[in-house]
Structure 1
Amino acid sequence: MKTPTLLSWSGGKDAAWTLATLRNDPAREVVGLVTTVTSGYERVAMHGIRRALLHAQADAAGLPVIEATIPPQCDNATYEAAFAAALDDARLRWPGITDIAFGDLFLEDVKAWREALCAKLGWKPVFPLFGGDTATLAQQMLDGGLQAVLCCVDTQQLDASFSGRAFDAALLRDLPASCDPCGERGEFHTLVHAGPMFARPLTIERGEAVLRDERFAYVDFHERDAREPR
């Protein structure tokens, strides 16, 4: 019998590749997604992905999504309370579920923080991608058909001109040596719009570019109705 597993979902490539990886694991079944959304902005926290695109991703993945809603400028205690409430909702939907997967890659402090939080809340965290070489992983994503765009860049680590670019071979060649190929240190965040984890690709359009907190360069994306002419 497969172990039902919840997946922490950001809308980005690492979460999406974690979903693809888990779906190839005969011992697990991903039953739903849990995502942190910032109220007022109505966007996925950190990534800045619109809620409408979040739900389009969930629909393409064939999975329900549970939202943990947090206020802007959220502190850790408020975040943890919102996350705990979302996990309580998940347990109401899937009684007895214990496992939640994360797409973390190599940051030991983040992994330890998640492990401590999950232990407090009575959940078992799993990290299917953790510990691998990120250059190899980035290439595996591209070879596996994942398609994504950079939706946020930390301009203290990477030039703002990278925001909005496709996550592709050209991007990997152009990244400075100081930048992790998967952006694991927060250099950039992505929006996935196609790949083996989706039953259909999302048709996205680029919107305006904005700089927030004098640091984070966001590019807004929205889904174009497939029935509209190009």
Structure 2
Amino acid sequence: MKTFCSWSGGKDSTLALYHGLKKFKVDYLFTMLSEDGIHSRAHGLPKSILEKQANSIGIPLITKCSTWGEYEKNFLDFLEEYAKGGMGIFGDIDLQEHLDWVENVCNKKNVRVFEPLWRRNRREIVEEFLKLGFKAKIIAVKKDLNIEKYLGKDLSFDLISEFESIGIDACGENGEFHTFVYNGPIFKNPVDFEIGTCVEKSKNLVLEIK
């Protein structure tokens, strides 16, 4: 039975993997890339950075390229090839439509679903992440929130409190911000990276990480 972790490179998938490794041997990290094969579909991290994360963690990274329209088909192709009859680890928290999609798609390939963060308190999830010693940077924020000053900052207890004081969810579960994890207890060594320029996307401002 093969086990994989759906990998964004951010805090939620990292914490989900941390809990998964306590229970299972994890064979792969899986990331869906945009159709150009350069950046992750969800968070916009370059494939080279995702590979550095995987190398430091010591788990092979599998990627596929996809448009949003072909996402489910390509995800099913991955399950068929690498995880049919196995298990997937996911970092969903409380968005029911995300869980429904995961369970529906995985069921088609007889893949069991492990969701260690599901229905946990959002603030407690981030606090656990930080208490465990993980390090993450804010790499994307919603354009319409005017919070670009937080780009490039490390996630911290003080930053969480500041976010909440201005109405930003502690986990960014409404898409307010995204993170890039570069060190922590499952990493053999810190990920080597540089921060580049800020790029404007359709809904987000994104820091280039290389």
Q: Which runs of 4+ in 1 moved over 6 A?
A: none
2:37 touches 2:65 (CA, 8 Å); kept in 1? no
How many angstroms apart in 1 are the aligned matches of 2:160 and 2:124? Answer: 11
CA contact (8 A) 1:103 1:128 kept: yes
Which residue, 63, 67, 74 being the options, matches 1:82? 74
Percent identical among aligned pairs is 27
Q: Distance in 1 between matches of 2:2 and 2:25?
A: 5
**Structure 1 residue 205 displacement after superposition:** 1.6
- Measured after TM superposition, the shift of residue 161 of structure 1 is 2.1
Aligned-residue CA RMSD in angstroms?
1.7
Contact 1:44–1:51 (CA under 8 A) maintained in structure 2: yes
Deviation at 1:158, TM superposition (A): 5.8
Distance 1:51 1:12, change over 3 A: same
Matches of 1:46 and 1:163, distance apart in 2: 17
Q: 1:39 aligns with which of 18, 35, 41?
A: 35
1:190 and 2:182 aligned = no
Counterpart position of 2:204: 216
Normalising by structure 1, report the TM-score.
0.85
Q: How far apart, CA to CA, are the structure 2 residues paired with 1:123 and 1:80?
A: 14
Residues in 2 aligned to 1:103 and 1:158: alpha-carbon distance in whole angstroms? 27
Comparing both structures, which one devotes a greater share of its residues to strand?
1
**Which residue does 2:9 correspond to in 1?**
11
More off after superposition, 116-125 vs 151-160: 151-160
Partner residue, 1:207: 196
Q: Matched residue of 2:207: which SS?
A: strand
Where structure 1 has 5 or more consecutive residues not aligned to the other structure, the ranges are 223-230
Tell me the distance in 1 between the aligned counterparts of 2:90 and 2:144: 26
In structure 1, the residue matched to 2:112 is: 124
- Aligned to 1:56, the other structure's residue is in SS state helix
| Matched-pair contact (CA < 8 Å) for 1:6–1:33 | yes
Q: Count residues in correspondence.
A: 209
Where does residue 145 of structure 1 map in the other structure?
133
Q: CA deviation at 1:88?
A: 2.2
